[in-house]
Amino acid sequence: MTSPVLLWLHRELRLGDNRALLAAVASGQPVLPIFVLDDETPGAWRPGEASRWWLHHSLAALAADLARLGAPLLLRRGRIADILPSLVRETGASAIHAGQPVEPWARRVAAELPRLAGVPLVLHRTVTLFDPEALRSGAGTPYAVFTPFSKACLARGPAAPPLPAPAHILAPERVPPSDPLEAWGLLPGQPDWAGGLRGTWTPGEAGARQRLAGFLDHTMEAYATARDRPDMDGTSRLSPHLHFGEISADQLWHAARAAGDGPGQIAFIREILWREFSAHLLWHHPTLPETPLRPNFARMPWQTAPRALRAWQRGRTGLPIVDAGMRQLWQTGWMHNRVRMIVASLLVKHLMLPWQQGEAWFWDTLVDADLANNAASWQWVAGCGADAAPFFRIFNPVLQGRKFDPDGSYVRRFVPELARLPDRWIHEPWAAPADVLEAARLRPGITYPAPIVDLAAGRARALAAFASLSAT
């Protein structure tokens, strides 16, 4: 019996442009794809609840796609460093193929696997556009500023052309038993909070292709300007598909290039490169999710305010565009990127709560929760990360709302208590005259909360904190 090779799937839940899968097939040996749900390895960021919902459906879709090519999808739960060596012994596998992980804990596991399993581990680029070690500044150091990083990426030429899916996968004669996907309990019980997710998303490679096609046909042309407007359908919403590897960064790059070279395409490629920059930062700074890149921010005088944190999490801050964003997140598992910056700025600057608390909430509630993107973006907003200049930037949620949701349609969608307010007052209901509030059936502090922070006082406190860091 010919020995198989294992295909360890981590964040490449697709058949198309999957270099690890194609290399395993090219070996001429039977291929056994396996996904391990590892909630036990020290340092591993256990997937949040929204991500677990997505993972269930993505694995179900992948299993069906693999079955059509003749291969099973083996599911096991436990420590990867235990499961894969055990499976090598069980099957007599001669090698393991896998995508190069970016997460620090997964990189540590990958480094130990050849010794533990006793067979080669062959890693392939499946998550990023470029080899994470390939991009260095002129001084030979990792990049810390996005613009020179993006220029270096563009100077390398186009991303590698996407590769087609294999036509057939040779399966082993004997397939070890697999965990039933339902036994993992990735879906919510009661209460079932996932209705908004089901109504918004179609996880899986086919869903990713459909989302990309819709974006190219209807949104790409206006993307450069519409992407900042939460009241419009102006973004790609491809981030969860990209995070789970249902579509590759190479595929998105070439799809954008094929669509032309207008402002929308240029802006979209810039967003792909921001994702690449986040991975670059995590690769070279493994403590990025926990520790500020700027050491002086370890002295930031953060506050302890559990009630304010809870109000922020539930969209009950009394600041309409913030509450709309937090409720959109709770209902759909996703939030518009402009609004992500607004709600994050309120938390870490006006409320002076640690960025790690916001990072943890996003990790649990976002379907596109990505360790590199989440950590890099929260550090950027907090002012303690890479390229965070000016680090003392503080978003005013009223002004941001007026600029990017001018008629309040985004707020009205997710904060229906405010639906009857005129546009003039939709982003500042506490300032509306009494007759306007009465006509809108709005009772500040009762039917909708009063602001949990005075914006001017919160801004002054944050600027004083930044000044204290500079002075010490």
How many Cα atoms occupy the beta-carbon half-sphere of 356 within 13 Å? 13
304 with 448, same domain?
yes
CA 294, CA 246: separation in Å to the nearest integer? 34
Question: What percent of the chain clears pLDDT 90, i.e. is strictly above it?
Answer: 93
CA 88, CA 90: separation in Å to the nearest integer? 5
Q: What is the CATH number of the domain that holds 263?
A: 1.25.40.80
Question: Does the model's pTM come out above 0.85?
Answer: yes
CA 297, CA 384: separation in Å to the nearest integer? 6
CA 235, CA 122: separation in Å to the nearest integer? 36
Please enumerate in sequence order all residues whose Cβ is within 8 A of that of 190, keeping only pairs 6 or more positions apart, or say none. none
Domain boundary among 108, 127, 146: 127
CA 311, CA 291: separation in Å to the nearest integer? 25
105 with 235, same domain?
no
How many Cα atoms occupy the beta-carbon half-sphere of 458 within 13 Å? 22
237 with 103, same domain?
no
Q: What is the pLDDT of residue 471?
A: 62
- Active-site hit among 271, 276, 417, 428: 271
Whether residue 364 has pLDDT greater than 60: yes
Domain boundary among 259, 284, 309: 284
355 with 272, same domain?
no
45 is catalytic: no
Average pLDDT over residues 210-225: 95
Instruction: Work out the pLDDT band at 257, boundaries 50, 70, 90.
Output: very high
355 is catalytic: yes
Instruction: Work out the pLDDT band at 131, boundaries 50, 70, 90.
Output: very high
Query: What does DSSP assign to residue 448?
Result: B
Instruction: Determine, yes or no, domain membership for 189.
Output: no
8 Å CB contact between 121 and 80: no
Q: What is the pLDDT of residue 388?
A: 66
239 with 377, same domain?
no
Question: Domain span at residue 96?
Answer: 5-127
88 with 22, same domain?
yes
CA 6, CA 168: separation in Å to the nearest integer? 16
Instruction: Work out the pLDDT band at 392, boundaries 50, 70, 90.
Output: confident
Q: Is 323 exposed, middle or buried (0-12, 13-18, 19+ CB in 10 A)?
A: buried
Q: Amino acid identity, residue 403?
A: K
Please enumerate in sequence order all residues whose Cβ is within 8 A of that of 150, keeping only pairs 6 or more positions apart, or say none. 270, 273, 274, 277
Whether residue 8 has pLDDT greater than 90: yes
Residue 136 CA to chain centroid, in angstroms? 24
Instruction: Determine, yes or no, domain membership for 195.
Output: no
Instruction: Determine, yes or no, domain membership for 182.
Output: no
User: How many domains does one find in the chain?
Assistant: 3
Instruction: Determine, yes or no, domain membership for 364.
Output: yes
132 with 240, same domain?
yes
| Helices 397-404 and 320-332, packing angle to 10 deg | 70
- Active-site hit among 45, 274, 283, 425: 274
- Active-site hit among 302, 330, 396, 430: 302
Q: What is the CATH number of the domain that holds 433?
A: 1.10.579.10
Closest to 339 (Cα-Cα) out of 179, 330, 38: 330
Q: What is the CATH number of the domain that holds 62?
A: 3.40.50.620
337 is catalytic: yes
311 with 432, same domain?
yes
256 with 300, same domain?
no
| Size of the chain, expressed as the number of residues it contains | 472
The C-alpha angle with vertex 152 and arms to 264 and 291, in degrees rounded to 5, equals 95
Q: Amino acid identity, residue 128?
A: T
The average confidence (pLDDT) of the chain is 96
Average pLDDT over residues 342-349: 98
Instruction: Determine, yes or no, domain membership for 176.
Output: no
Average pLDDT over residues 330-359: 98
Whether residue 160 has pLDDT greater than 90: no
Closest to 7 (Cα-Cα) out of 29, 25, 32, 38: 32
How many Cα atoms occupy the beta-carbon half-sphere of 183 within 13 Å? 7
The answer for 449, left when phi > 0, alpha when psi is -120 to 50, beta otherwise, is beta
The C-alpha angle with vertex 355 and arms to 309 and 452, in degrees rounded to 5, equals 30
The first and second tokens of residue 120, run together, are 């080669």
Domain boundary among 228, 252, 284: 284
Residue 123 phi, psi dihedral angles, 5° rounding: -100, 145
Instruction: Determine, yes or no, domain membership for 289.
Output: no
Instruction: Determine, yes or no, domain membership for 197.
Output: no
Four-residue CA torsion sign, 349, 350, 356, 360: negative
Beta strands 121-124; 96-99: pairing state: parallel
Residues 268-286 pLDDT 10s: 999 999 999 999 999 999 9
Whether residue 470 has pLDDT greater than 90: no
Q: What is the pLDDT of residue 460?
A: 96
307 with 456, same domain?
yes
Q: What is the pLDDT of residue 190?
A: 82
Mean pLDDT lowest among 122-126, 152-156, 331-335: 152-156
Instruction: Work out the pLDDT band at 157, boundaries 50, 70, 90.
Output: confident
Residue 419 CA to chain centroid, in angstroms? 30
- Active-site hit among 378, 380, 417, 428: 378
Four-residue CA torsion sign, 411, 329, 282, 130: negative
Residues 403-426 pLDDT 10s: 999 999 999 999 999 999 999 999
Beta bridge partners of 99: 124
- Active-site hit among 8, 355, 361, 363: 355
- Active-site hit among 49, 105, 330, 337: 337
428 is catalytic: no
Instruction: Determine, yes or no, domain membership for 194.
Output: no
Alpha carbon dihedral 398, 399, 400, 406, in 10-degree steps, equals: 90
Query: What does DSSP assign to residue 170?
Result: P
Residue 387 CA to chain centroid, in angstroms? 19
Q: Amino acid identity, residue 433?
A: P
Query: What does DSSP assign to residue 349?
Result: I
279 with 370, same domain?
no
244 with 100, same domain?
no
How many Cα atoms occupy the beta-carbon half-sphere of 169 within 13 Å? 27
